[in-house]
Structure 1
Amino acid sequence: MSVAAEKMTSDDAALLDAYSASVADAVDRIGPAVCRIEISQPRAGQGSGFIISPDGLIVTNSHVVGDATSVRIAIPNGVHAEGRVLGRDPDTDLALVRSHASFPDFAPLGNSKLLRRGQIAIAIGNPLGFEWTVTAGVVSALGRSMRSATGRLIDDVIQTDAALNPGNSGGPLVSSAGEVIGVNTAVIRGAQGIAFAVASNTANFVISEIIRFGKVRRAFIGVSADTVALPRRAALMSGLATTSAVRLRKVEPGSPADRAGLNEGDVIAAIDGQPVTGVDDLVRLLDGSRIGRDTRCLVLRRSTAVELTVVPEARTA
């Protein structure tokens, strides 16, 4: 073997070792906080979840807990405990459970806004009953939308090719830095390597709403959107020191956004003076406190910046 070939082989081995080490380190950090969620009433089933705080708050999917008011929790060290469902949000397929058992490990949510396509994504869960299984892939796309069980679109969804199967639902999607970047929620049956997770920033918003109000309050304006890069000229025009904003992909006819004059293709850069740098900001800013209130939207439309006033409505089930 030539010297060049030997060097290539050595370099490849080093890269593989580095990849393996980063995945293994992330699993060591987050894995002990991953739960198996068991439901016996009103139907039997199981899924995954993960502990996000030392006082026993656990995130999972709404479709995992269903209509149950209590669940049984198991973690890798053999501990079993009862948990109470604090609230669920079918519109984002998220639910929050509390257990008063003592859990030594927890996995706080990271900042999904920092994600980049191509970075390592690691899924941990209990697919098909095989407990605490690890799969790895990459972040395939960001800012996807998918339809929830209620028929509403979940925005700011992460697409990954980390293998997911029934039972992975509710488990964490983890970065190589050992941060939870999403909550695994769905696979496309019959497709190879297409799976989805609700972004951690959206999960943070939903969790805070459930803790404060027992449900998620939302202001509805009737749009679907995605995050886009904001050219320097557009940023200067908006007067904001941001590099991204939200582009409207659809405006529902007759909706508050439609009545305010918002159009498909418009870019929302700020709401009431607060920068909108991604879909997660749009979700967070349109909370229940804005229902029925004049809400100023800074809109970039072609080569001009305009301010439009939207009056959000209460989002109905």
Structure 2
Amino acid sequence: MLDFTQDTIDDGGPSRTTKQAAAIDQALLDAYSNAVIGVTERVGPAVVRVEARSKAPNARQRGGLGSGIVISPDGFVLTNSHVVGSSRQIRLQDHEGIITDARVIGVDPDTDLALLRADGARNLHHASLGNSKSLRRGQLVVAIGNPLGFESTVTAGVVSALGRSIRSVSGRTIEDVIQTDAALNPGNSGGPLVSSAAEVIGINTAIISGAQGICFAVASNTAQFVLSEIIRHGHVRRAYIGVSGQTAPVPRVHAVAAGVENRMGALLAQIEPNGPAALAGLLPGDVVIRLDGVDVNGVDDLIRVLDRDRINRKLEMDVLRMGRLRAIDIHPIERKPSARRESDPPSR
């Protein structure tokens, strides 16, 4: 015997099951919307418009227009180094339209980050930096900024991938980058990527030209490191050996003869006179395959190993020279902050 209930009778109207499903969908949409609204209301007032102007009207690098996030009540602001450029004349505009001058505390083109401080500002709306290591793929994130000059624009999406690497304007690789599908446009650069807990977990930095909605943010843990280095030293301390090079394959016959497993290495193209590499006896054409016990499978690996912990230490570098393995002692020094233009080749 068939039991025709209210759920199964088709009288031309929606069934109880359909209504329940619709109610659940509406509740989920409301929860999503409320999460985005809550983040926007808490963090939005801490987002500022950053306008960088050069003193020289014909300067090659004039800075630009972007966004920033206030991270302390006394006016510290994080943004992108490419927004600041070479400018030292910075203006900030908050969500209420109040304009204030700011000074550049330090820039780090290697991570595309810059630290500013608003002049005479106190008790500003500010946001806190979260722990980017706690992120998961698929997690809700909100990007807030001033795209194309439109203040306090909000877009939402998810974390698409973690641990990405992208090339900075200085030529160095930015590690541990967050990939998201939250829509970004010119002017969003330097704005915050925010978690549903209203914590800044990234600084929006780049868009792949021609890609559909693939956007990147420098992880907040990287930003925290850069922030502390700039406050303490005025710049980020990194080791320097005075070379430029490129990633190149290691011929199989050379690898077998030398007893190494590297398929790729860092081919040295230029050696700076009187630099650590020159003093150690390195030559153009040498292929670095290991430094301080760490395998080097390309220029990016060499850059990564040359961190602040290896400044003023004697390190052993393994190189292939004319197919023969050589161990060379090298003494990296601290790399000096550079005002190098974006078009100049990077050195390590």
Answer yes or no: same fold by TM over 0.5: yes
Q: Which amino acid aligns with 1:252?
A: A
Tell me the residue number matched to 1:138: 158
| Contact 1:174 1:180 (C-alpha < 8 Å) held by counterparts | yes
What is the Cα deviation at residue 121 of structure 1? 1.2
Structure 2 length normalisation: TM-score?
Answer: 0.69
> Which ranges of structure 2 fall in alignment gaps of 5 or more residues?
1-13, 56-61, 244-261, 268-285, 298-302, 317-328, 336-346
CA shift digits 1:213-262 (9 cap, x unpaired): 1111013699xxxxxxxxxxxxxxxxxxxxxxxxx997635688714443
Matched, 1:106 2:130: no
| Contact 1:256 1:310 (C-alpha < 8 Å) held by counterparts | no
Structure 1 length normalisation: TM-score?
Answer: 0.75
Larger radius of gyration: 2
Matched, 1:41 2:54: yes
For residues 26-65 of structure 1, what are the structure 2 equivalents within 5 Å?
26-42=39-55, 43=62, 45-65=64-84
1:258 to 287, 290, 293: 290
SS in 2 for 1:205: helix
2:110 to 78, 91, 95: 91
Q: Which amino acid aligns with 1:69?
A: R
| Contact 2:176 2:218 (C-alpha < 8 Å) held by counterparts | yes
Tell me the residue number matched to 1:71: 90
SS in 2 for 1:252: strand
Cα 1:256–1:164 change in 2 (3 A) is same
Instruction: Output the CA distance in 1 between the equivalents of 2:15 and 2:294.
Output: 64
Q: Which amino acid aligns with 1:258?
A: R
How many aligned positions are there?
Answer: 264
| Contact 1:26 1:174 (C-alpha < 8 Å) held by counterparts | yes
For residues 56-205 of structure 1, what are the structure 2 equivalents within 5 Å?
56-99=75-118, 100-205=120-225
SS in 2 for 1:73: strand
Which one is further off, 127-136 or 248-257?
Answer: 248-257
Instruction: Output the CA distance in 1 between the equivalents of 2:137 and 2:331.
Output: 35
| Contact 2:53 2:88 (C-alpha < 8 Å) held by counterparts | no
Instruction: Output the CA distance in 1 between the equivalents of 2:148 and 2:85.
Output: 18
Q: Which amino acid aligns with 1:11?
A: I
> Which ranges of structure 1 fall in alignment gaps of 5 or more residues?
223-247, 266-281, 297-308
Please list every run of at least 4 consecutive aligned residues from structure 1 whose deviation after the TM superposition is greater than 2 angstroms. Answer: 42-45, 219-222, 248-257, 259-265, 285-290, 292-296, 309-317
Aligned-residue Cα RMSD (Å) equals 3.0
Q: Percent identity?
A: 58
Cα 1:259–1:44 change in 2 (3 A) is closer
Q: Which amino acid aligns with 1:263?
A: D
